[in-house]
Amino acid sequence: MSSPFGKGLAFPPRVDASGRMLWSQGERNIQESIAVILRTDLNERVQLPAFGTSLNAFLFEPNNAATHARVAHAIDAALKKWEPRITVEAVDVAADAKATETAVATITYRLVATGAAQRVAIDVPLATS
């Protein structure tokens, strides 16, 4: 029986001891897909220019509530468009207490195939407030 989550090349791409490409599958494949979507800038992919989120575009934006809302919206829209295996429930963005030039985006989602709740966080570099 095949997995409802899919299978793809591991991200980042790597090889095993025998020199073969590693694959990821299951929930790990979805987590890697989310990372690819969030770390890809718009227009970065030649044949798919609308893919990604362009979180790097926020690099010089202030680390405040208005920027956090825009980052959350960009993440939510990109994941809803590019990752059909999940249902995004919430995207919370807040300043990192330890690094004033970083915001932390916490994404809460459910796997469509099983309904299992998952959470992933990503650092978003911003300017200091």
Would you say residue 1 has pLDDT above 50?
no
In whole angstroms, what is the distance from residue 75 CA to residue 57 CA? 13
pLDDT at 16 over 60: yes
The predicted pLDDT at position 43 comes to 93
**Cα distance between residue 115 and residue 10, in whole Å:** 24
Instruction: Report the pLDDT value the prediction gives residue 49, as an integer from 0 to 100.
Output: 94
2 in any annotated domain: no
Q: pLDDT-derived band of residue 83, with 50, 70 and 90 as boundaries? A: very high
Query: Six-digit token pair at 90?
Result: 């919430």
Residue 27 domain-assigned? yes
Query: Is 36 part of any domain?
Result: yes
102-114 average pLDDT score: 95
Higher model confidence: residue 8 or residue 42?
42
Determine the pLDDT at residue 21: 78
CB atoms within 10 A of CB 116: 10
Number of domains in the chain: 1
Quick check: is 1 in a domain?
Answer: no
Mean pLDDT, residues 32-59 taken together:
93
Residue pair 35/11 in contact (Cβ under 8 Å)? The answer is yes
pTM, two decimals, is 0.84
Which CATH number covers residue 72? 3.10.450.40
**What is the extent of the structural domain holding 99?**
7-125
Percent of the chain at pLDDT exceeding 90 = 67
CA geometry: angle 47, 49, 50, nearest 5 deg: 130
101 lies in some domain = yes
> Rounded to whole angstroms, how far apart are CA atoms 100 and 24?
34
